[in-house]
Structure 1
Amino acid sequence: MALLLRFPPHSIYLLRHTSTPPKLFTPPTQNKRLLLFSAAAMATPAAPARKVLVPIANGTEPMEAVITIDVLRRAGADVTVASVEKQLRVDACHGVKIVADALITDCGQNVFDLITLPGGIPGATNLKNSGILESMVKKQAAGGRLYAAVCASPAVALGAWGLLKGKKATCYPSFMEQLASTANAVESRVQVDGKVVTSRGPGTTLEYAVALVEQLYGKEKADEISGPLVMRSNHGEEYTIKELNPVQWTFNDGPRILVPVANGIEEMEAVMIIDVLRRAKANVVVASVEDKVEILASRQVKLEADMLLDEAAILSYDLILLPGGLGGAQAFANSEKLVNLLMKQRESNRPYGAICASPALVLEPHGLLKGKKATAFPAMVNKLLDQSEAENRVVVDENLITSRGPGTSIEFALGVVEKLFGREKALELAKTMLL
């Protein structure tokens, strides 16, 4: 089963202004000059968005690509996703399909404020083997502009291209020895050295993306973006969940997990949940509640589900998990078929859960939080009838699991892994991802 992401053409922003003549007691000539000055000032265009290139390849780590794209677009960057393959669609890790905006061959003459490489194997190797991308990043470095990489790509791509000489850099732990031959290797979660930014892996990508925002726009903008992400304050420490009324989650074969998607879902949350659970070898079914399998997520990322919910509803599930996003949560709440599935899940004492806006906008209005403790996105917590445990990042109450937002998505998914496979398995995955 595959998840297909499609990145549409960039949005166009329109500026509108009006000029009302000021009521000033001035001679006509001076008044006219003031009007002309006022109109000219109001017509001054906004500063152009910073241009960012995110190259992708077969074997790219989807979390690293999507998180970086999402966060940079939140900051207002004009992000171009470019395939280094011969076609727009690439086969990323964990069954995720990504369709780029353009081929790298179409981008060679463009100038970017930042070029940032996701990792993944063989994704990093495929990026390294792109002669056009190598030339572009070398010109980026020679021009004193930002370039960056995460996971395997600092060692496999940037290091191999000779672009980390004399620089402090970090990468995925298993590539540190290779990195040490081409850079001053350090074990930082995110390392900034001049115009070079590097990071370690999936679990450090949110920090990495926010650091890129700071490099492009400044610390004030980075702080503004990071707040709604609900990021961890204790990066690198062992994750925790708040569990009340513990019960054992069981499954016969699989387990089979339903992840519905809809227009307006938060793409980071959906991809992180799907990615982590597929790493744990769960059978994840991605189903669209819309009338077609392709949906438009909140940051204009197009996802293609495995099937429509009508088809998915024929099966039974060990667990149903709802990603968030305001528009997506509202679509879930309006889907009678999905609500019925959730009702049956509760009635049969099978697990279900939600993150971000979905606990407040889907579960609460339909009585699916009755008698349960839960959490939700901070701005939505006031919609919960019982807010007593809402400050926790992940809350498990019997067969219910809820969480807060993009920055808690990996912890949310690991909480599911812990309940299904045990904490040892969840901690093993957390270590692999460098949470």
Structure 2
Amino acid sequence: MALRHLAPHSSLLRISHLNAIFSPKKRFLSVSSSMASPARKVLVPIANGTEPMEAVITIDVLRRSGADVTVASVEKQLPVDAGHGVKIVADALISDCGDGGFDLIALPGGMPGATNLRDCAILESLVKKQAADGRLYAAVCASPAVALGPWGVLKGLKATCYPSFMEQLAPCATAVESRVQLDGIVVTSRGPGTTMEFAVALIEQLYGKEKANEVSGPLVMRSNHGDEYTVRELNPVEWKFDDCPKILVPIANGTEEMEAVVIIDILRRAKANVVVASVEDKLEILASRKVKLVADVLLDDAANHLFDLIVLPGGLGGAQAFANSEKLVNLLKKQREINRPYGAICASPALVLEPHGLLKGKKATAFPALCNKLSDQSEVENRVVVDGTLITSRGPGTSMEFALAIVEKLFGRQKALELAKMMLVVHP
């Protein structure tokens, strides 16, 4: 079987590649065979305490490639209390995932999520079988050191993990500081800020470089991973709040799950009071890539409160639901009238803010394919645009910069950079 050789330093991602030629005992799929059977089977286990950004970005990006991703709870029930108060509903219990047969098993990190994954005997058995069968497996953040290492599936391999777990990883593998590390059939990565690169690298292993490029383009990923992010700001004003900023993040069926979860996660890391409100008639929503998220409240219950900021994630279906919600549109209009901050990312600036006059006299950006719907397109090439009390951004690959720009406006640049380094968005 002809094996695919990857360039040492991809122009798309900074990935370290080792052991491109596997031992005869290892089985791996060539590009030609992968293209003949496009729906690769992927298992993404989640647990209480899982880092939600890492789980959701991995699931979302892999599903964009056409992979058949099963989100499996290692808990006794499908709903999982991930980190930072994010609630995710799995597709199945790990006990229902049979004897494997997965082309990839990818573990998100987070603590105590990684520990909970490690302590799941069924998952351990599945990953050990995956390794024995020469099939692809992967982990990000704490999980390479906390789960894969103790299971003995990193022996003799180079791997990376979250910086504070490198010492724990060292006895189990050759610890390296790559943002994404490929060694044989194992892919490891460092943290929330490297997860999109990690997920695209997994697509490259499953389907080849062409598919990875096809998926990564619309994500609007950064070309300078790890460098300090920049924000285009016009008409700067101070965003004021009393004690702790209260932020409303609406979600709906069809909301882009990466954008929603990144915004919620990062703003809660900054200690903001984030209220996640469903514009549907129930708390659970089905996001654009079929991730099930659970809101804190219904929009009706949030509508009588004042917020220091209202921020809309994107996603075509979600943005249309927002635009059709009279209650949400009225909240946004009131926010503008009383000169309080509001913002949107991806499809929402073009499909929600623009049609309802909420961009009048303001500079904004949006998802590239929708920028022609903006009446003023003079600043659309910027990844994040702040104009007074309005903040807008482009898409999934800009959502971390977008959320960090909000942190910066509320708490200052130093706080935002501290978080960016902690998450590996910026080199520590």
Q: Please give the TM-score of this superposition, normalised by the length of structure 2.
A: 0.90
Match of 1:179 in 2: 169
- Partners of 2:75 and 2:274 in 1: how far apart? 27
Deviation at 1:231, TM superposition (A): 0.3
Match of 1:327 in 2: 317
Match of 2:133 in 1: 143
- Partners of 2:125 and 2:285 in 1: how far apart? 35
Match of 2:19 in 1: none
Which of the residues 395, 414, 419 maps onto 1:424? 414
Q: Any idea what the Cα deviations from partners look like across 1:105-140, whole Å, max 9, x if unmatched?
A: 222413100001000011111111111211111111
Match of 1:304 in 2: 294
Deviation at 1:46, TM superposition (A): 7.1
Letter of the aligned partner of 1:116 in structure 2?
A
Which of the residues 75, 92, 115 maps onto 2:65? 75
- Counterpart contact for 2:89–2:293, Cα < 8 Å: no
Does 2:288 match 1:293? no
Match of 1:202 in 2: 192
Instruction: Report runs of 4+ in structure 1 exceeding 3 Å deviation.
Output: none
- Give matches, 1:296-375, under 5 Å: 296-375=286-365
Deviation at 1:86, TM superposition (A): 2.1
Q: Any idea what the Cα deviations from partners look like across 1:355-396, whole Å, max 9, x if unmatched?
A: 001101111111111111110000011111111111000000
- Counterpart contact for 1:297–1:303, Cα < 8 Å: yes
- Partners of 2:254 and 2:122 in 1: how far apart? 35
- Counterpart contact for 2:160–2:189, Cα < 8 Å: yes
- Give matches, 1:247-258, under 5 Å: 247-258=237-248
- Partners of 1:300 and 1:105 in 2: how far apart? 21
Letter of the aligned partner of 2:273 in structure 1?
N
Match of 1:4 in 2: none
- Counterpart contact for 1:256–1:319, Cα < 8 Å: yes
- Counterpart contact for 1:108–1:132, Cα < 8 Å: no
Letter of the aligned partner of 2:122 in structure 1?
I
Match of 1:224 in 2: 214
- Counterpart contact for 2:38–2:67, Cα < 8 Å: no
Q: Any idea what the Cα deviations from partners look like across 1:61-109, whole Å, max 9, x if unmatched?
A: 0110011001111111111111112222222111112222222122241
- Give matches, 1:16-415, under 5 Å: 47=37, 49-415=39-405
Letter of the aligned partner of 1:350 in structure 2?
R
Secondary structure in structure 1 of the residue aligned to 2:70? strand
Letter of the aligned partner of 1:73 in structure 2?
R
Moved more, 284-293 or 200-209: 284-293
- Partners of 2:237 and 2:221 in 1: how far apart? 28
Deviation at 1:295, TM superposition (A): 2.0
Q: Please give the TM-score of this superposition, normalised by the length of structure 1.
A: 0.88
Q: Any idea what the Cα deviations from partners look like across 1:150-196, whole Å, max 9, x if unmatched?
A: 00000111111111111111000001111111111110000011100
Percent pairwise identity: 83
Deviation at 1:336, TM superposition (A): 1.3
Deviation at 1:303, TM superposition (A): 2.1
- Counterpart contact for 1:151–1:171, Cα < 8 Å: yes
- Partners of 2:400 and 2:294 in 1: how far apart? 21
Moved more, 99-108 or 58-67: 99-108
- Counterpart contact for 1:200–1:434, Cα < 8 Å: yes
Structure showing greater Rg: 1
Moved more, 302-311 or 413-422: 302-311
- Partners of 1:303 and 1:184 in 2: how far apart? 37
- Partners of 1:50 and 1:249 in 2: how far apart? 46
- Counterpart contact for 2:247–2:274, Cα < 8 Å: yes
Letter of the aligned partner of 1:296 in structure 2?
L
Q: Any idea what the Cα deviations from partners look like across 1:18-50, whole Å, max 9, x if unmatched?
A: xxxxxxxxxxxxxxxxxxxxxxxxxxx973611
- Partners of 2:336 and 2:79 in 1: how far apart? 39
- Counterpart contact for 1:264–1:298, Cα < 8 Å: yes
- Partners of 2:231 and 2:267 in 1: how far apart? 17
Match of 1:25 in 2: none
Secondary structure in structure 2 of the residue aligned to 1:278? helix
- Partners of 1:110 and 1:194 in 2: how far apart? 20
- Count of matched residue pairs: 391
Q: RMSD of aligned C-alpha atoms?
A: 1.2
Letter of the aligned partner of 2:72 in structure 1?
A
- Partners of 2:400 and 2:146 in 1: how far apart? 26
Deviation at 1:250, TM superposition (A): 0.4
- Counterpart contact for 2:154–2:172, Cα < 8 Å: yes
Secondary structure in structure 1 of the residue aligned to 2:57? helix
- Partners of 1:91 and 1:334 in 2: how far apart? 30
